[in-house]
């Protein structure tokens, strides 16, 4: 898959890419005109985030052929970073149990270093494994003994609105960076274990770690409030309500719409202006997000393009296309794979933090493998694995289809079953399950593209 | 003495019997993955959803039979529906082989391509399952609920604590034993089984001796369908049908396969029991057992639970990680993936 078939046609990508992105823009404008501009911008913002995630996965799959089935976990780590970096700290909770949590963290770190020390000391000797197990067991018991009362105390602090430690209260941009770092750390751990063995192990290990990460976020209320969700995450852009009061914004709206406001009398004018200001405020906020996200996307995309063109990029492609030959040339295959796996996961983590920023809340219950792992894979494969621009295009296109497929699927099912009459139980059942059609369709799209156009919409360019 | 017996009975009732049942279900699921791996040489991510699909078809047939008034007395009606569930699942798997995997097989693609294709198949099945039966939980167990009731046990033993065995648990163990014995007899004694092992061992040599690869592959899929459907239906009878729980079985199943040694049927069974027992032992709260065993003044206050049940994934995962680090070939020296 990642290997370009030798008989694959050479494509002129520049024209294809410009055309594809023009079509994308046209579709978004069509949604803006026919449905609403606010909706079009919402879709666009999520398209950009999807594109960044797809870029991250493309780094892993397209550059190195690493199969990551745990995208969901890395995205959720990004969301977690939003909480621990930008939420304001809960002082009472810190007083109640902060010390115990910190002590437990230190105890865990000591346990890990002790286990590593025993490992180094006794390597190859008898009882080696059992002693490590003993060290870890003692460490777990001690840290649980320290941690549990602290957790209970923290969760008892005003459980309806806080009941967790809060964060550091730093600006949102730091949270995006920390999201990337957290994901990179998790990737390092998994990569150390599963890379160097054959490829399926990485897939299984990432599947496992992502389930565990999301389970932790759902259940550790002192850290994430669990299923009670953290709402009201700080925003890097102004709030709609503030904008509606701000004189400069009202003036701006008035000036932009002066033509349509002219013909009205003063009372009508005020009412119309009021609704215009409300509408424009929401669009203005969405545009701010679009600008910020687009900036991040452009920076990451540019870095990816530069990396792939550099000597490093040539080495990575050489490793991908023939691991044995690259190894024989003295390239460190496993080391390079680890590096790429970490980089790609970090990009996914950044996108996950941005997604939580856009939602304004962190809801551990919403992380499903369908939406966060599988859909991203469809984006990468459809867009063109190994091509950065292709991943971006795939992110845009597949997200748009995913969003619009639900109403279209419902409409299609409605039309197909209308002959059954409104009383029919089967018709009701089919209408209820129309939403599952899009899962089936996405699965079919993945299989069809893999089979008939394995290099995707924008193929990797031969150099 | 009675205290110890009581403790033992509590342990058997809440740990041993549930773990044994769960182990049988995992073993059947893992056997399917291992068979596919040894013959088709890829890790089948669609196994969990295959189990769900087989269960859904069986549930639908069960409801049909129930509406006709057919029942099996004290056994669940689902047993009657099981053969049809297996048949439909086998047809679906053969169709996926014909339209998805065969192309990559003739092209001799890398195994990761197969894995990815199986991910696509998994999601199609995921949608299909919900399309057929909706996203809600279903309970389709009927017949006698208990194989060994609390009253019967108390009358026999005279203890305070009771050991209860549900029909679904007894059925799971009996069916699993029958299936596993049948599978091993098939692999060891029949000509087709021997051909299958030869093909798994050395594809080219098997082709040279005139074994028809398409036939081997077809039979493998049919066996996998049977194992997956039985495992899924038993799991559903035991714990109730929840669509998501079948996806969640994927990690324990892979862990079981790798622990036992991938491509080794005996390894899949042993691995299944290792994972099941570790999961149940680690997540069980031992308060009741310890209250009986320890002197009164030392009785524990807390639940004495090593890990809450939400983290049972972590058990499979940790075992998986240990095996990958210490012995990637698994207990029975399977292939390194």
CA angle, B102 then B245 then B263, to 5°: 45
Interface test with A, best of B100, B122, B131, B314 (most A CBs within 10 A): B131
> d(Cα B166, Cα B156) in Å, to the nearest integer?
17
Helix (H, G, I), strand (E, B) or coil at B162: coil
Q: What is the mean pLDDT of residues A268-276?
A: 81
Q: What is the mean pLDDT of residues A28-36?
A: 88
Q: What is the pLDDT of residues A409-433, one digit of tens each?
A: 778 778 877 777 776 777 777 777 7
Q: For every one of its 337 residues, what pLDDT tens digit does chain B have, with 9 covering 90 and above? A: 788 888 889 899 999 999 999 999 999 999 999 999 999 989 999 999 999 999 999 999 999 999 998 888 888 889 999 999 999 999 999 999 999 999 999 998 888 889 999 999 998 999 999 888 888 888 888 888 888 888 888 888 888 888 889 999 999 999 999 999 999 999 999 999 999 999 988 888 888 988 899 999 999 999 999 999 999 999 999 988 998 889 899 999 999 999 998 888 899 999 999 999 999 998 888 888 888 888 877 777 777 777 888 888 888 988 988 888 888 888 887 665 4
Contact A130, A70 (CB under 8 A): no
Q: Pick from A198, A437, A438: which is nearest to B336 by CB?
A: A198
The verdict on a CB contact (< 8 Å) between A370 and B120 is no
* pLDDT recorded at residue B184: 93
The verdict on a CB contact (< 8 Å) between A1 and B116 is yes
Q: Pick from B313, B317, B337: which is nearest to A200 by CB?
A: B337
Domain boundaries, chain B: 2-326
* pLDDT recorded at residue A57: 94
Strands B165-166 and A230-231: unpaired
The verdict on a CB contact (< 8 Å) between A451 and B328 is no
> d(Cα B117, Cα A314) in Å, to the nearest integer?
28
Query: Is the per-residue pLDDT at A369 higher than 90?
Result: no
The verdict on a CB contact (< 8 Å) between A440 and B117 is no
Task: Chain B: give the shortest CA distance to residue A386, in Å.
Answer: 15
* pLDDT recorded at residue A12: 60
Q: What is the pLDDT of residues A229-246, one digit of tens each?
A: 888 888 888 888 888 888
As a whole number of Å, the CA-based R_g of chain B is 21
Contact B230, B86 (CB under 8 A): yes
The verdict on a CB contact (< 8 Å) between B115 and A215 is no
Query: Is the per-residue pLDDT at A199 higher than 90?
Result: no
Query: Is the per-residue pLDDT at A1 higher than 70?
Result: no
A266-309 and A247-256 helices cross at what angle (nearest 10)?
Answer: 100
CATH fold for domain B2-326: ABC transporter involved in vitamin B12 uptake, BtuC (1.10.3470)
* pLDDT recorded at residue A433: 74
Task: Chain A: give the shortest CA distance to residue B226, in Å.
Answer: 24
Half-sphere exposure of B247 (CA within 13 A, CB side): 18
> d(Cα A135, Cα A114) in Å, to the nearest integer?
7
Could you tell me which residues are beta bridge partners of residue A362? A230
The verdict on a CB contact (< 8 Å) between B117 and A447 is yes
The verdict on a CB contact (< 8 Å) between B314 and A212 is yes
Interface residues on A facing B, Cβ-Cβ cutoff 8 A: 1, 3, 65, 67, 69, 129, 193-194, 197-201, 203-205, 207-209, 211-212, 215-216, 218-219, 369-370, 374, 377, 381, 429, 432-433, 436-440, 442-444, 446-447, 450-451
Contact B140, B237 (CB under 8 A): yes
The domain A46-89+166-414+430-452 is placed in CATH, from the list 2.60.120, 1.10.3210, 3.40.50, 1.10.3470, at: 1.10.3470
Contact A1, A64 (CB under 8 A): no
Helix (H, G, I), strand (E, B) or coil at A95: helix
The verdict on a CB contact (< 8 Å) between B100 and A447 is yes
The verdict on a CB contact (< 8 Å) between A207 and B251 is yes
Domain boundaries, chain A: 46-89+166-414+430-452, 90-165
Contacts of A50 (CB under 8 A, 6+ apart): A351, A375, A376, A379, A395, A396, A398, A399
B285 φ, ψ to 5°? -90, 120
* pLDDT recorded at residue B336: 52
Contact B89, B225 (CB under 8 A): yes
Q: Which two tokens stand for residue B206?
A: 């098997």
pLDDT band per the 50, 70, 90 thresholds, residue A162: confident
Q: Which two tokens stand for residue B92?
A: 């679906």
Task: Chain A: give the shortest CA distance to residue B155, in Å.
Answer: 41
Give the range among A287-291, A317-321, B44-48 with minimum mean pLDDT.
Answer: A317-321
* pLDDT recorded at residue B279: 93
Contact B294, B4 (CB under 8 A): no
Helix (H, G, I), strand (E, B) or coil at B47: helix
Q: What is the pLDDT of residues A42-69, one digit of tens each?
A: 999 999 999 999 999 999 998 888 889 9
Q: How many contacts does A have with B, using Cβ atoms within 8 A?
A: 132
Helix (H, G, I), strand (E, B) or coil at B77: coil
For chain B, helix, strand, coil in percent to 5 are: 75, 5, 20
The verdict on a CB contact (< 8 Å) between A446 and B120 is yes
* pLDDT recorded at residue B172: 94
Q: Which three-class secondary structure string do you get for A210-252?
A: HHHHHHHHHHCHHHHCHHHCEECCCCCCCCHHHHHHCHHHHHH
Mean per-residue pLDDT of chain A: 86
Helix (H, G, I), strand (E, B) or coil at A361: strand
The verdict on a CB contact (< 8 Å) between B120 and A201 is no
Query: Is the per-residue pLDDT at A140 higher than 90?
Result: no
Query: Is the per-residue pLDDT at A184 higher than 80?
Result: yes
* pLDDT recorded at residue A462: 65
Task: Chain A: give the shortest CA distance to residue B133, in Å.
Answer: 9
pLDDT band per the 50, 70, 90 thresholds, residue A2: very low
**Residue B117 to residues A174, A449, B217: CA-CA distances in angstroms?**
38, 11, 17
The verdict on a CB contact (< 8 Å) between B43 and A203 is yes
* pLDDT recorded at residue A6: 42
* pLDDT recorded at residue A5: 46
* Residues of chain B positioned with their CB less than 8 A from the CB of A194: 324
* Residues of chain A positioned with their CB less than 8 A from the CB of B334: none
- The one-character DSSP state at A9 is P
> d(Cα A284, Cα A239) in Å, to the nearest integer?
10
Contact B58, B229 (CB under 8 A): yes
| DSSP state letters, A192-219 | HHHBTB-HHHHHHHHHHHHHHHHHHHHH
Q: Which two tokens stand for residue B225?
A: 């369908």
Query: Is the per-residue pLDDT at A11 higher than 70?
Result: no
* pLDDT recorded at residue A427: 76
> d(Cα B288, Cα B305) in Å, to the nearest integer?
11
Q: What is the mean pLDDT of residues A263-292?
A: 85
pLDDT band per the 50, 70, 90 thresholds, residue A379: very high
Q: What is the pLDDT of residues A106-127, one digit of tens each?
A: 999 999 999 888 888 877 777 8
């Amino acid at each position: 898959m990642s290997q370009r078939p030798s008989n694959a046609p050479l494509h002129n990508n520049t024209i294809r890419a410009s055309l594809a992105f023009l079509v994308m823009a046209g579709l978004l404008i069509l949604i803006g005109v026919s449905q609403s501009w606010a909706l079009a911008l919402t879709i666009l913002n999520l398209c950009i985030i999807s594109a960044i995630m797809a870029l991250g996965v493309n780094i892993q799959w397209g550059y190195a052929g690493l199969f990551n089935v745990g995208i969901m976990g890395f995205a959720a780590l990004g969301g977690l970073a939003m909480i621990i970096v930008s939420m304001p700290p809960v002082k009472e909770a810190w007083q109640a149990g902060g010390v115990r949590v910190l002590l437990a963290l230190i105890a865990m770190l000591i346990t890990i270093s002790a286990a590593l020390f025993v490992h180094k000391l006794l390597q190859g000797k008898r009882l080696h494994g059992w002693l490590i197990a003993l060290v870890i067991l003692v460490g777990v018991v001690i840290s649980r003994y320290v941690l549990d009362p602290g957790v209970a105390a923290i969760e008892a602090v005003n459980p309806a609105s806080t009941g967790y430690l809060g964060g550091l209260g730093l600006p949102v941009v730091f949270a995006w960076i920390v999201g990337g770092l957290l994901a990179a750390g998790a990737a390092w751990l998994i990569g150390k274990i599963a890379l160097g063995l054959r490829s399926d192990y990485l897939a299984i290990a990432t599947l496992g770690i992502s389930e565990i990460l999301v389970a932790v976020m759902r259940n550790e209320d002192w850290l994430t409030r669990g299923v009670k969700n953290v709402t009201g995450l700080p925003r890097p852009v102004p709030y709609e309500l503030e904008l509606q009061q701000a004189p400069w914004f009202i003036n701006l709206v008035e000036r932009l719409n002066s033509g349509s406001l002219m013909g009205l009398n003063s009372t009508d004018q005020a009412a119309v202006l009021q609704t215009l200001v409300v509408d424009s405020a929401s669009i203005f906020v969405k545009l701010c997000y679009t600008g910020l996200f687009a900036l991040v996307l452009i920076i990451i995309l540019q870095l990816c393009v530069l990396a792939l063109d550099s000597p490093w990029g040539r080495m990575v492609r050489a490793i991908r296309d023939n691991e044995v030959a690259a190894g024989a040339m003295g390239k460190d295959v496993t080391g390079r794979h680890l590096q790429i796996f970490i980089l790609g996961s970090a990009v996914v983590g950044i996108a996950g933090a941005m997604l939580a920023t856009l939602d304004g809340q962190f809801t551990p219950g919403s992380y499903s493998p369908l939406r966060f792992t599988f859909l991203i894979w469809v984006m990468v494969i459809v867009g063109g694995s190994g091509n950065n621009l292709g991943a971006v295009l795939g992110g845009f296109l597949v997200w748009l289809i995913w969003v619009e497929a639900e109403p279209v699927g419902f409409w299609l099912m409605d039309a197909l079953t209308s002959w059954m009459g409104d009383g029919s139980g089967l018709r009701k059942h089919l209408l209820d399950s129309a939403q599952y059609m899009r899962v089936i369709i996405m699965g079919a799209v993945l299989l069809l593209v893999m089979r008939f156009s394995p290099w995707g919409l924008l193929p990797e360019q031969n150099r | 003495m009675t205290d110890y017996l009581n403790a033992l009975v509590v342990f058997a009732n809440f740990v041993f019997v549930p773990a044994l049942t769960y182990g049988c279900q995992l073993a059947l699921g893992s056997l399917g993955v291992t068979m596919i791996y040894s013959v088709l040489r890829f890790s089948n991510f669609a196994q969990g959803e295959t189990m769900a699909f087989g269960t859904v078809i069986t549930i639908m047939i069960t409801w049909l039979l129930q509406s006709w008034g057919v029942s099996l007395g004290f056994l669940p009606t689902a047993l009657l529906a099981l053969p049809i569930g297996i048949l439909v699942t086998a047809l679906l798997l053969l169709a996926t082989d014909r339209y998805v995997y065969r192309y990559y097989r003739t092209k001799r693609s890398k195994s990761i391509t197969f894995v990815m294709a199986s991910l696509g198949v998994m999601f199609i099945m995921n949608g299909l399952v919900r399309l057929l039966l909706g996203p809600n939980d279903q309970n389709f167990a009927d017949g006698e609920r208990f194989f060994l009731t609390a009253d019967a046990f108390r009358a026999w033993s005279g203890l305070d604590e009771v050991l209860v065995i549900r029909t679904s648990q007894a059925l799971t163990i009996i069916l699993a034993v029958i299936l596993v014995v049948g599978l091993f007899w098939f692999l060891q004694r029949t000509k087709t089984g021997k051909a299958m092992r030869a093909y798994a061992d050395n594809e080219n040599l098997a082709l040279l001796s005139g074994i028809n690869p398409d036939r081997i592959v077809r039979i493998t899929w049919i066996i996998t369908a049977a194992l997956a459907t039985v495992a899924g239906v038993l799991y559903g009878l035991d714990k109730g049908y929840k669509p998501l729980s079948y996806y969640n079985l994927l990690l324990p199943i892979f862990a079981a396969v790798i622990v036992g040694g991938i491509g080794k049927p005996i390894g899949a069974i042993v691995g299944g029991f290792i994972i099941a027992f570790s999961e149940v032992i680690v997540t069980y709260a031992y308060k009741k057992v310890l209250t009986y065993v320890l002197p009164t003044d030392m009785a524990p206050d807390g639940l004495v639970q090593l890990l809450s049940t939400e983290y049972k994934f972590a058990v499979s995962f940790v075992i998986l990680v240990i095996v990958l680090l210490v012995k990637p070939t698994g207990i029975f020296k399977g292939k390194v993936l």
